[in-house]
Amino acid sequence: MYLIKNLQYHFMKDLGLPALMRFSQRTKKRRPKKLDTCFGPPLTSTGRLKEIMTRHYLLSRYAEGARPVAWVTSGAPVELLRAFEFYTFYPENHGALCGAQKVGSELCEVAEGKGYSQDLCSYARIDLGVCFSGRTPVGKLPKPDLLFASNNICQTVVYWYKVLAYHWKVPLILFDTPYNFKDIADSDISYMVGQLEEMIPVLEEVSGKEFNYQRFQDVIRLAKEASLTWGEVLATMKARPAPMTIFDAFGHLAPIVSLRGLPVALNYYRVLLNELNDRVKKGIGAITDERKRLMWDNIAIWYKVRDLSNRFAERGMNFVAATYTNAWAETISYLDINHPFESLAKAYSLVILNNNLNHRFELMERLVKEYGVDGLVIHSARSCKPYSVGQYDIKRLLMDRLGVPSVVIEADIADSRVFSEEQTRTRLEAFFEAMEA
C-alpha cells in the first residue's frame, strides 16, 4: 500500500498537478477586471502565490500514506520536522482561509454544537468544526500522523491540539517555551534545547527516517534566508509611496508560515522582492494617492480584508506596517546553522506573543518611526486574547510619546458573527476626522 501511495504522490507532485493547473489556467474564463482608481496596478506575483498555495493544498490530499504528515502550529519550530521530510499542514493558515472564504462562522457553529464555547479562538473552532464535519473549502485535509505545537503564541493551542490528538489518535509533541518577562536566561535555552533533542527519537519513529544533521542544517539555512527575504519584502514599504499594502502582505504571508524551510518559499519571496523593488524605482504605489501611512496591530480580520482595504484607500490611507506580518521576520536572525538547536530556541521563544508588553511597545514605537506611520489601527480580537491584552495601554503610550492617533476595532479573526458594521463605521469615521484634521 505504501508503494502505491508513494508512486501516486510523486506522480501528482511532478506531473499530475502541474498538468492539471496548466489546463485550469487555459480553460479559465478571463473576465476583464474592473480597475479601482484608488489602487495602483496589482502585483503580478499574486498569480504565482495562488499557484503555490493551491498546489500545496491539492498535494496534501495525496500525502497521506505516502509521506509522514504533521499538523503544526504557526509558532512551532517546523525546521526540525523538515529534516524528517514531513508534509506539514497549518490549521491556523487554513482557519484564515476559511475566514477569508466567509465560511468561518459556519464551521465554528459545528464545533459549538459539540459543546465548545464561542469564546474560544475561532481558528480552533474552525479546525474542530472541520474535523467533526469533514467540510472545508479546500476539499479534503490530510489525516495527521503527528501533531506539533508550541505554546509561544498562546496556551489555547495546547488544549486545542490535545483534542486533535484524541480525535485522530496520534501523538502530540509540545515545544514548551518559557515566557520572556525581561531577558532570556541560559537555563531557559538549555531547557528548550533538551526538549528539541528529546523529540528526535519520536520523529524518527513516526517518520521511519533517521535524523540527518546535514539536512537539518540545510533546512535552517533555507528558513533563515526565506524569512530574511520576507523582512526585505516588508521593508520596501518604507518607500513613499509604498509599493504594496499590509492587506497585500497578509496574503503574501502564507508561504513563510506554511512552507518555511522549503526552496519554494525562498524562491517566491525573491521574485516578490524583485517586483517590489522595481515598483519602488518607478514610483509605483499600492494606492494612487498615498497621503497618510498607517500601522495595523494584531491578526487580520480575514472576512473584511477587502472591505477595509477599500475603505482606507478611498481616503488616501495606506497600511505600511503591521506587528503581525513582522512576526516572521523579527527573530529569525537568531538562526545559526552552526548552533541549530540553541538558535531555534532563541528564535522561537523571543517572538512577540512570548515576550513582555514593554518589548511589544518598543517594537511598535520603532515601526512607527521607521515606516513613517501617521496613525494606528488596533484590532482587538475576541479570538486572540494574548495578542489583544495591553492594547489600550499601548495605544495611550504611543499617543503620549509620539502623538500617533489611533482607533480600536473590536472584531474576530475569522468569525464574522461578532463583527458590528455600525460600531466599526462610527469609530472609523471619528478616526478619519482626526487623521484629516
Q: Which three cell numbers stand for residue 321?
A: 506596517
Coil vs helix vs strand at 33 = coil
CA nearest neighbour of 164 among 56, 72, 97: 72
* φ/ψ (deg, to 5) at 395: -55, -45
CA nearest neighbour of 312 among 327, 292, 332, 331: 292
CA nearest neighbour of 352 among 372, 367, 338: 367
Residue 379 β-bridge partners:
409
Cis peptide before 144 (omega within 30 of 0): no
Residue written as grid cell 480553460 = 27
DSSP per-residue string spanning 271-286: HHHHHHHHHHHHT--S
* Assigned domain for 22 exists: no
Our CA dihedral for 195, 151, 376, 98, rounded to 10 degrees, sits at 120
What CA–CA distance (Å, rounded) separates 361 from 376? 13
* Assigned domain for 269 exists: yes
Q: Does residue 247 contact residue 276 with C-beta atoms inside 8 Å?
A: no
Residue written as grid cell 472576512 = 303
What CA–CA distance (Å, rounded) separates 102 from 414? 8
Please list, residue by residue across 195-206, b when 16 or more beta carbons sit within 10 angstroms of its beta carbon and e when fewer do. Answer: bbeebeeebeeb
Q: Count up the domains in the chain and report the number.
A: 1
Q: What is the CA radius of gyration of the chain?
A: 21
What CA–CA distance (Å, rounded) separates 273 from 286? 14
What CA–CA distance (Å, rounded) separates 430 from 126? 33
CB atoms within 10 A of CB 407: 19
* Assigned domain for 20 exists: no
pLDDT digits (tens, 9 = 90+) for 143-181: 999 999 999 999 999 999 999 999 999 999 999 999 999
* Assigned domain for 370 exists: yes
pLDDT 10s digit of each residue in the chain, 437 long? 667 777 777 777 776 777 766 766 666 655 555 556 799 999 999 999 999 999 999 999 898 888 999 999 999 999 999 999 999 999 999 999 999 999 999 999 999 999 999 999 999 999 999 999 999 999 889 999 999 999 999 999 999 999 999 999 999 999 999 999 988 899 999 999 999 999 999 999 999 999 999 999 999 999 999 999 999 999 999 999 999 999 999 999 999 999 999 999 999 999 999 999 999 999 999 999 999 999 999 999 999 999 999 999 999 999 999 999 999 899 988 999 999 999 999 999 999 999 999 999 999 999 999 999 999 999 999 989 889 999 999 999 999 999 999 999 999 999 999 999 999 999 999 999 999 87
Percent of the chain with pLDDT over 70: 95
* Assigned domain for 28 exists: no
Residues 6+ apart with CB under 8 A from 168: 131, 143, 144, 147
Q: Does residue 2 contact residue 65 with C-beta atoms inside 8 Å?
A: yes
* Assigned domain for 292 exists: yes
pLDDT digits (tens, 9 = 90+) for 119-150: 999 999 999 999 999 999 998 899 999 999 99
pTM: 0.94
Q: Which whole-number Å values give the CA distances from 268 to 50, 233, 286, in the listed order?
A: 11, 11, 20
* Assigned domain for 21 exists: no
Cα 53 → chain centroid: 13
What CA–CA distance (Å, rounded) separates 281 from 298? 30
> Sign (positive/negative) of CA torsion 365, 368, 371, 377?
positive
Residue written as grid cell 459556519 = 106
CA nearest neighbour of 173 among 63, 68, 53: 68
What CA–CA distance (Å, rounded) separates 194 from 188? 10
CB atoms within 10 A of CB 388: 19
> Sign (positive/negative) of CA torsion 178, 184, 187, 190?
positive
* Assigned domain for 74 exists: yes
- Give residue 340's domain range: 2-12+38-436
